[in-house]
Amino acid sequence: MIALKQLKQVPAPLSPIAGDVLEGLSRTPKMLSPKLLYDAQGSALFEQITRLPEYYPTRTEAGILTTHAEEICSRLGQEISVSELGAGTATKTRILLRSLLQRQPSVDYFPLDVSDAALQLAKDELERELMAVNVHPHVGDFEDLTFIEHHPPPRLVLYIGSSIGNLEHREAISLLQNIARHLSSGDQLLLGVDLVKDSNVLHAAYNDSAGITASFNKNLLVRINRELGGHFEPDAFSHVSFWNETASRMELHLESTCRQSVRVDALDTTLRFYQGERIHTENSYKYTIECLEDLLQRGGFNVEHTWTDSNCWFAVSLGVV
């Protein structure tokens, strides 16, 4: 009896996501940080998204990098090192690194990502394909960027893939300022952002017919079930994504299909949902070229050049400190 009582008093080891989940789901309206979407399963689902016919950003950006690789590299410093924020599996980065190796004998490449699995894949594939690239992976988020100072100058920081689209404008500006603070004069940033376009194109990209984006979104609930002893029924929520014109962003939500209560053991709480209640899970901001260049400027970079595709669907901009 006593042993059991003592056992009950031992707190379960708190998962690192507990605080974020409790905070977000206690708000009105409920929300969850988009960072939570990228566990191993979520990162794998995102990789699938990048190959969907409706999801244009990845292949459009890859097209821009392929078409302009030489010109981009000609604008970079001599014997640079490359750091990448949110590198993932670094598929698009290979285009640039390959081109860079025409100008310098080797490259030190420092990918940062929250997903250890993705980084390991990046390292294995890159070092097999491009022997002159030395990969130094770093698992972590963007809170502390001091490690950039340890990368050999002159530096190129890559922040491509429109990951900055997850951030509010003021968050995006302070992230760029934070990057700039750890760089030296002459160091450069290559930033990729998704552009404002026909809302039908946007809608299709986030509501794919194969339902992969829906699975990616619902994986949040699966993750809470696994890591926090949640009792979510993923199919009692539907994937909702729409263009918010006023805010210039795509929004992702999970909408409760019925009135329901969901117990989350590790948070020692029961969440209540009314029918139609939404959890806001992600924003994906879309820029105009003007807004993109303004963002770089406010972030502490001088814009050197901006490249786009023939549809003007995506833009890649080079800035210098």
Tell me if 273 contacts ligand AVJ by CB under 6 A: no
**Residue placing its CB nearer to ligand AVJ in the complex, 34 or 230:** 34
Q: In whole angstroms, how close is the CB of 241 to ligand AVJ at the nearest point?
A: 7
- As a whole number of angstroms, the distance between CA 301 and CA 295 comes to 9
The 3-state DSSP class for residue 310 equals coil
**Using the rule CB under 6 A, which residue among 31, 32, 45, 49 binds ligand AVJ?**
49
3-class secondary structure, 269: strand
Residue 82's DSSP bridge partners are: 109, 156
18, 223 contact by CB (below 8 A) = no
CA gap 9, 27 in Å, rounded: 28
- Beta strands 138-139 and 155-159 are unpaired
Is residue 206 at the binding interface for ligand AVJ, with CB under 6 A as the rule?
Answer: yes
- Residues 6 or more apart from 39 whose CB is under 8 A from it? 115, 219, 223
57, 111, 192, 319: residue in contact with ligand AVJ (rule CB under 6 A): 57
**Contact flag: residue 161 with ligand AVJ (CB under 6 A):** yes
Closer CB to ligand AVJ, residue 49 or residue 135? 49
Binding part of the chain for ligand AVJ, among 68-76, 106-114, 159-167, 185-193 by CB under 6 A, reads: 159-167
166 is a contact residue toward ligand AVJ (CB under 6 A): yes
219 near ligand AVJ, judged by CB under 6 A = no
* Residue number with CB closer to ligand AVJ (103 or 169): 169
Q: Which of 43, 89, 163, 215 binds ligand AVJ (CB under 6 A)?
A: 163
Confirm or reject binding of residue 192 to ligand AVJ (CB under 6 A): no
Tell me if 36 sits within 8 A of 248, measured CB to CB: no
- The CA-atom distances, in angstroms, between 189 and each of 85, 154, 158, 216, 254 are 11, 11, 6, 29, 34
Smallest Cα–Cα separation from 190: which of 284, 112, 85?
A: 85
The residue count for binding ligand AVJ (CB under 6 A) is 12
> Strand, helix or coil at 54?
coil
CA distance 122 to 127: 8
Query: For tokens 């993705």, what's the residue?
Result: 118
The residue among 99 and 163 lying less far from ligand AVJ, judged by its C-beta, is 163
Length of the chain: 321
Which residue in the shown chain puts its C-beta closest to ligand AVJ?
284
Min separation Cβ 1 and ligand AVJ, Å? 51
Residue 284 is a binding residue for ligand AVJ (CB under 6 A): yes
How many whole angstroms separate alpha carbon 25 and alpha carbon 272?
10
With contacts defined by CB under 6 A, name the span among 63-71, 145-153, 163-171, 309-317 that binds ligand AVJ. 163-171
State the nearest-atom distance from the C-beta of 131 to ligand AVJ, in Å. Answer: 29
Structural contact between residues 181 and 215, judged by C-beta atoms closer than 8 angstroms: no
Asked if 282 is part of the footprint of ligand AVJ (rule: CB under 6 A), the reply reads yes
Of the two residues 42 and 154, which places its CB atom closer to ligand AVJ in the complex? 42
Tokens of 300: 């502490």
Q: Which of 60, 213, 215, 219 binds ligand AVJ (CB under 6 A)?
A: 213
- Minimum CB distance to ligand AVJ, residue 283 (Å): 8
- Distance in Å, CB of 213 to ligand AVJ, minimum: 5
Distances (CA, A) of 108 to 79, 104, 242: 10, 11, 40
Q: Is 115 in the site for ligand AVJ (CB under 6 A)?
A: no
Provide the binding-site residues for ligand AVJ, judged by CB under 6 A. Answer: 49, 57, 161-163, 165-166, 206, 213, 216, 282, 284
